């Protein structure tokens, strides 16, 4: 007897414990039209998440752009969500009888989660980096800030230039899906006691949706951030803060479950204790990948944090346009920055625990959408 778990009108996923392996002449034997066992798909990995086998199909249904999936026992059970055109004939049989693969039915509604899929609101993906290889960072897409001068915050690290130990791409085990690793290390370089990386996108944008899927580091003294700065100095004779800063995500290691979002301008900045900020509690931000979203409109900035199935699950911060450029300089191109600082005026308020190194922020992908 085969006992299976229905979860929607279009797909079934089988309970591993009761399914008998069926591989006939090397071909995959399909059950319930849309799932099979002892099979996998090549490449096209979109994202992955730890899950039970019966939860893999629903997670694919809830994830924007996911069209097919595979489940394996790796890391206690992992759902590998995939994208692109795929049919049952694209699956191949494996020697691992515990693996499951599946495809979404033709009637699958790609607009899920109350319209929170970017495509449901007319968002068009215009740029992305998925880091799906093992090797150095793609320097056609990213630059590096280099130095150890504190970066205005009395930070203790030296930022290196595309150094493997501090910034690299690595494939997940048994997968063609990769991630970027930004790693802070306790080592001496150019007068600093720590090294890290601070990457910035070569592409700049004005208005749109920025999404970054990341798992944050943990440890007192670390200060990871996902943020944006303007391409050029447009307002006044002072680049910062007059021309703006958008902080999608900041976290300090002594408070790892609190995620902060902020803006800085001439009128509102931390130097004069007037910056605008808010935060949200995310209990598993350091143990699981989360999607951090910035929605940037001509009259509003909003940030969110969520999971693959619901990227906008938790609102963090909103800043509405008001006044002149001293309060709203957010009408020019900005670029993305991703970094881990060590110590500093905020991150180092409770000291640096040297036992937590290396500290890693893992970034599965970065995407930018604009409204079509």
Would you name the residues annotated as active-site residues? 245, 250
CA dihedral 90, 96, 98, 104 (to 10 degrees): -10
CA gap 296, 300 in Å, rounded: 6
Listed residue (103, 56, 71) closest to 84, CA to CA: 103
**First-to-last CA distance in the chain?**
50
Listed residue (36, 39, 60) closest to 48, CA to CA: 60
Name 293's bridge partners.
211, 304
In whole angstroms, how far apart are CA 269 and each of 27, 243, 272, 277?
62, 11, 6, 10
Listed residue (361, 351, 164) closest to 251, CA to CA: 361
In whole angstroms, how far apart are CA 68 and each of 133, 159, 365?
21, 39, 19
Question: Phi first, then psi: what are they for 75, rounded to 5°?
Answer: 60, 35
State whether residue 44 is helix, strand or coil: coil
């Amino acid at each position: 007897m085969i006992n299976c778990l229905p979860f929607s009108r279009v797909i079934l996923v089988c309970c591993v414990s009761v399914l008998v392996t069926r591989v006939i002449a090397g071909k995959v034997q399909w059950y319930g039209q849309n799932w099979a066992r002892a099979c996998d798909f090549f490449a096209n990995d979109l994202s992955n998440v730890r899950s039970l086998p019966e939860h893999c199909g629903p997670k694919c249904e809830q994830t924007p752009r996911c069209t097919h999936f595979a489940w394996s026992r790796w890391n206690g059970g992992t759902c590998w969500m995939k994208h692109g055109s795929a049919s049952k004939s694209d699956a191949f049989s494996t020697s691992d009888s515990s693996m499951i693969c599946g495809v979404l039915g033709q009637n699958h509604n790609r607009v899920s989660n109350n319209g929170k899929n970017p495509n449901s609101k007319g968002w068009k993906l215009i740029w992305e980096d998925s880091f799906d290889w093992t090797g150095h960072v793609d320097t056609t897409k990213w630059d590096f800030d280099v130095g150890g001068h504190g970066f205005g915050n009395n930070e203790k690290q030296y930022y290196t230039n595309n150094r493997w130990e501090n910034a690299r791409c690595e494939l997940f085990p048994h997968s063609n899906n990769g991630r970027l690793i930004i790693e802070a290390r306790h080592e001496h370089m150019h007068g600093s006691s720590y090294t890290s990386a601070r990457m910035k996108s070569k592409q700049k944008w004005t208005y749109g949706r920025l999404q970054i899927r990341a798992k944050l580091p943990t440890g007192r003294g670390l200060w990871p951030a996902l943020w944006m700065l303007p391409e050029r100095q447009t307002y006044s004779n002072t680049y910062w803060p007059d021309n703006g800063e958008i902080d999608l995500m900041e976290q300090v290691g002594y408070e790892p479950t609190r995620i902060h979002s902020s803006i800085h301008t001439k009128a509102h900045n931390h130097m004069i204790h007037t910056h605008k900020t808010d935060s949200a509690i995310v209990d598993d931000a350091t143990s699981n990948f989360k999607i951090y979203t910035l929605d940037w409109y001509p009259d509003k900035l909003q940030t969110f944090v969520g999971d693959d199935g619901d990227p906008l699950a938790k609102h963090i911060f909103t800043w509405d346009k008001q006044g002149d450029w001293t309060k709203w300089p957010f009408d020019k191109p900005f670029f993305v920055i991703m970094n881990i600082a060590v110590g500093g005026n905020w991150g180092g308020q409770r000291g640096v625990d040297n036992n937590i190194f290396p500290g890693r922020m893992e970034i599965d992908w970065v995407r930018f959408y604009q409204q079509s």
